């Protein structure tokens, strides 16, 4: 995790008449699953100074004051003619309102869903140029901007902007990464692939149909670089990342089980919960079809339900009732999904929260079984509640796979599996602690990997809750268990989402994890590399500290008869 620093705005000249204003936070910006690596973020905004001046994507209210202060050093805000918005959300409204108070003549450029959101938040008298797909905006000096609507369920108003003069494509939510630093472009781009993959898995993997449609729209555009809304701009690894987006999207489509995840959101909180559930589901190797009920057509909802093996419905509570769009979606679900489907309900609320109970009641009355207790979160989700949501999503997906009898191996019981199963490993408990969050897993696929520096590898299944805390730079403790001790039994049981893994277990906190004093030894480690291998990640970590706790003890060994399970 990057240590705390004051927030600032980095201003960089990037092309003819074009500046990037990178609002930087070295701390986790929001409690959304996409920020969970806690490497900070940049909120990238851009200024194009033709004969007319345009701002692209002013940052959220967190950066409002320092952003406007930095902007005033460069230009007279009264000279800005246009504000172009890749998407509109409540977080950004505060900054837009402040800009309007300085310059009431501003014209906003956005898609129709964005225009609706703007008028709801800032009033009906706004000057708005609505983009539908063919419009251009001539700023003069050769900057004739072209607009590419790229709607997704999470951001129905998503808009990319292209400047043919500089050949920059401003991609907003596409191709981002939540990292903070001085690096403006992606030199050494392969070193950032872990962060970009995590961003994709958290924000794009649950809407791959729309991602592929967006990739098709921008495929033939000649570009110098992509300018996303978060993280370094893409110049050196641009084509490689586009290809990876295509590969990752295709991998999601190839999953043989899918979940329809339907939601609506008043202030973005229900969306945040939906994304955490979706992240947990995709980690378990099950595809997710994210459906925003506010923008989806009935036929789209029906088609998603028909091809799925289960569904989740999320809703805010508005005046004690369901939003109309959720009522419509629920009706389609009740008339389409068979009673054997697994179901789940979630939502956020401010004062009451009846919507979740209404949906759950109607599903139960219709004969559906809820796979988990309905999730009801008041106001904004916390880091702890998002972890519970992610684990709930993983459990939901694993239950679907068991119900479908999905095998993880091709030839269970074969001589090959029996032979591979004879590979033994020491039994360990890997522990992680991040603020209020602490978690653990029993591990036996552990091996020393290097002498100098002392290093080891651990295989971690993709659907493990702890996997999200084992990225490059993360710290953990590997507790090696002693033969004959009962500590292993505690960690062999299945834990419910959010359940405390350390109840009745003696622990000693240290940087990044927890030491188990009843173990044989412990190693304090830092993740140096990750490698994707089938259904697991191979984590290579450097040992930075450790101690032998029982000098006469023997290491607990895990013996198996088959390679089809741990």
> What DSSP string describes 333-349?
HHHHS-TTSEEEEEEEE
Quick one: pLDDT at residue 30?
Answer: 83
Q: How many domains does the chain have?
A: 3
- Asked if residue 489 has pLDDT above 50, the reply is yes
Q: Please write the tens of the pLDDT for every residue from 87-115.
A: 998 889 999 999 999 999 999 999 999 99
CATH number for the domain harbouring residue 478? 2.30.110.10
- This prediction's pTM: 0.89
Q: Are 479 and 429 in contact (CB under 8 A)?
A: yes
What's the rounded Cα separation, in Å, for the pair 116 and 113? 5
Shared domain for 178 and 308, answered yes or no, is no
Burial group, residue 424, by CB count within 10 angstroms (0-12, 13-18, 19+)? exposed
Query: 420 and 341 share a domain?
Result: no
Domain boundary among 357, 379, 403: 403
**Taking residues 434-444, what's their average pLDDT?**
92
Residues 77 and 214 in one domain: yes
Claim to verify: residue 446 and residue 299 sit in the same structural domain: no
Q: Is residue 323 part of a domain?
A: yes
CB distance 166 to 194 below 8 Å: no
Question: Tens digit of pLDDT for each residue in 122-163?
Answer: 999 999 999 998 889 999 999 999 999 999 999 999 999 999
Backbone phi, psi, residue 373, to 5°: -60, 135
pLDDT of 7 > 50? The answer is yes
Backbone angles phi, psi at 19, to 5 degrees: -125, 145
Shared domain for 476 and 369, answered yes or no, is no
Asked if 64 and 189 sit in the same domain, the reply is yes
What's the mean pLDDT in 411-440?
85
Query: Of 231, 251, 271, which residue constitutes the final position of a domain?
Result: 251
User: 340, 289 in Cβ contact below 8 A?
Assistant: no
Cβ atoms of 541 and 527 within 8 Å: the answer is: yes
At residue 2, the pLDDT reads 44
pLDDT tens-place string over residues 498-527: 899 999 999 999 999 999 999 999 999 999
What pLDDT is recorded for position 10? Answer: 97
Is 464 among the domain residues?
A: yes
Is 445 contained in some domain?
A: yes
Using CA atoms, how far residue 387 sits from 223, 298, 465, 499, in Å, is 38, 32, 8, 11
Question: How confident is residue 411, by pLDDT bands cut at 50, 70 and 90?
Answer: low
What average pLDDT does this structure show over 17-34? 93
CATH number of the domain at 362, please: 3.40.50.360
Q: Please state the rounded mean pLDDT for residues 418-447.
A: 91
Is there a single domain that holds both residue 356 and residue 225? no
2, part of any domain: no
- Mean pLDDT across the stretch 382-403? 93
Q: Is 446 within a domain?
A: yes
Q: What is the pLDDT of residues 54-98, one digit of tens each?
A: 999 999 999 999 999 999 999 999 999 999 999 998 889 999 999
Please give the residue range of the domain that contains residue 306.
256-403
Tell me if 419 is assigned to some domain: yes
Q: Is residue 331 part of a domain?
A: yes
CA distance 302 to 337: 9
| Residue pointed to by tokens 């800005």 | 80
* Residue 22 predicted with pLDDT over 70: yes
30 versus 237: the higher-pLDDT residue is 237
Indicate the pLDDT class of residue 484, thresholds 50, 70 and 90. confident
If pLDDT is split at 50, 70 and 90, which confidence band does 29 have? confident
Identify whether 482 is part of a domain: yes
Top pLDDT among 222 and 414 is at: 222
Same domain, 190 and 283: no
Answer yes or no: are the C-beta atoms of 367 and 17 closer than 8 Å: no
Does residue 152 sit in the same domain as residue 260? Answer: no
Q: Are residues 393 and 431 in the same domain?
A: no
Give me 516's structure tokens.
């188990």
Residues 528 and 507 both lie in one domain: yes
Q: Are residues 354 and 455 in the same domain?
A: no
Domain final residue pick, 234, 251, 268:
251
């Amino acid at each position: 995790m990057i240590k705390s620093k004051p927030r600032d705005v980095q201003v960089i000249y990037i092309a003819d008449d074009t500046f990037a204003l990178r609002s930087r936070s070295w701390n986790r910006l929001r409690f959304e699953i996409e920020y969970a690596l806690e490497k900070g973020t940049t909120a990238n905004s851009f200024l194009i100074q033709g004969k007319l001046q345009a701002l692209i994507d002013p940052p959220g209210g967190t950066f409002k004051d320092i952003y406007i202060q930095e902007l005033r050093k460069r230009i007279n805000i009264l000279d800005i003619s246009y504000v172009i918005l890749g998407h509109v959300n409540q977080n950004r409204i505060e900054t837009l309102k402040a800009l309007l108070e300085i310059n009431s003549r501003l014209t906003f450029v956005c898609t129709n869903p964005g225009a609706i959101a703007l008028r709801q938040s800032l009033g009906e008298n706004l000057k708005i140029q609505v983009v539908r797909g063919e419009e251009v905006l001539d700023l003069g000096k050769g900057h004739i901007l072209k607009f590419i609507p790229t709607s997704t369920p999470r951001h129905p108003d998503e808009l990319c902007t292209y400047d043919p003069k500089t050949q920059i494509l401003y991609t907003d939510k596409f191709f981002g990464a939540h990292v903070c630093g001085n690096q403006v472009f992606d030199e050494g781009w392969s070193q950032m692939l872990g962060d970009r993959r995590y961003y994709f898995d958290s924000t794009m993997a649950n809407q791959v149909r729309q991602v592929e449609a967006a990739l098709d729209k921008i495929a033939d555009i000649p570009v110098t670089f992509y300018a996303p809304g978060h993280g370094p701009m893409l110049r050196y690894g641009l084509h490689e990342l586009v290809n990876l987006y295509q590969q990752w999207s295709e991998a999601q489509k190839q999953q043989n089980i899918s979940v329809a995840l339907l939601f609506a959101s008043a202030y973005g909180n229900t969306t945040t919960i939906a994304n955490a559930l979706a992240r947990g589901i995709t980690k378990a190797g099950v595809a997710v079809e994210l459906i925003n009920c506010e923008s989806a057509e009935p036929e789209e909802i029906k088609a998603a339900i028909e091809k799925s093996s289960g569904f989740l419905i999320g809703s805010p509570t508005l005046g004690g009732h369901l939003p109309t769009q959720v009522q419509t979606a629920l009706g389609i679900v009740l008339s389409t999904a068979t009673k054997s489907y697994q179901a789940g309900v979630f939502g956020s609320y401010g004062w009451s929260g009846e919507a979740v109970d209404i949906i759950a009641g109607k599903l139960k009355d219709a004969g559906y079984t809820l796979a988990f207790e309905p999730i009801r979160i008041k106001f904004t989700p916390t880091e702890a509640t998002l972890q519970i949501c992610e684990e709930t999503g993983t459990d939901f997906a694993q239950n679907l796979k068991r119900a479908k009898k999905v095998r993880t191996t091709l030839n269970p019981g074969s001589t090959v599996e029996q032979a591979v199963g004879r590979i033994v490993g020491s039994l360990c408990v890997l522990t992680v602690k991040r603020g209020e969050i602490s978690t653990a897993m029993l591990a036996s696929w552990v091996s020393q990997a290097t002498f100098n520096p002392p290093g080891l590898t651990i295989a971690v299944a993709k659907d493990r809750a702890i996997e999200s805390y084992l990225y490059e730079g993360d710290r953990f403790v590997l507790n090696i268990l002693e033969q004959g001790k009962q500590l292993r039994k505690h960690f062999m049981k299945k834990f419910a989402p959010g359940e405390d893994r350390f109840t009745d277990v003696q622990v000693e906190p240290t940087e990044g994890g927890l030491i188990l004093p009843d173990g044989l030894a412990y190693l304090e480690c830092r993740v140096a590399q990750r490698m994707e291998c089938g259904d697991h990640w191979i984590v290579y970590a450097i040992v930075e500290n450790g101690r032998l706790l029982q000098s006469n003890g023997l290491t607990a060994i895990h013996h198996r008869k088959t390679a089809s399970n741990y």
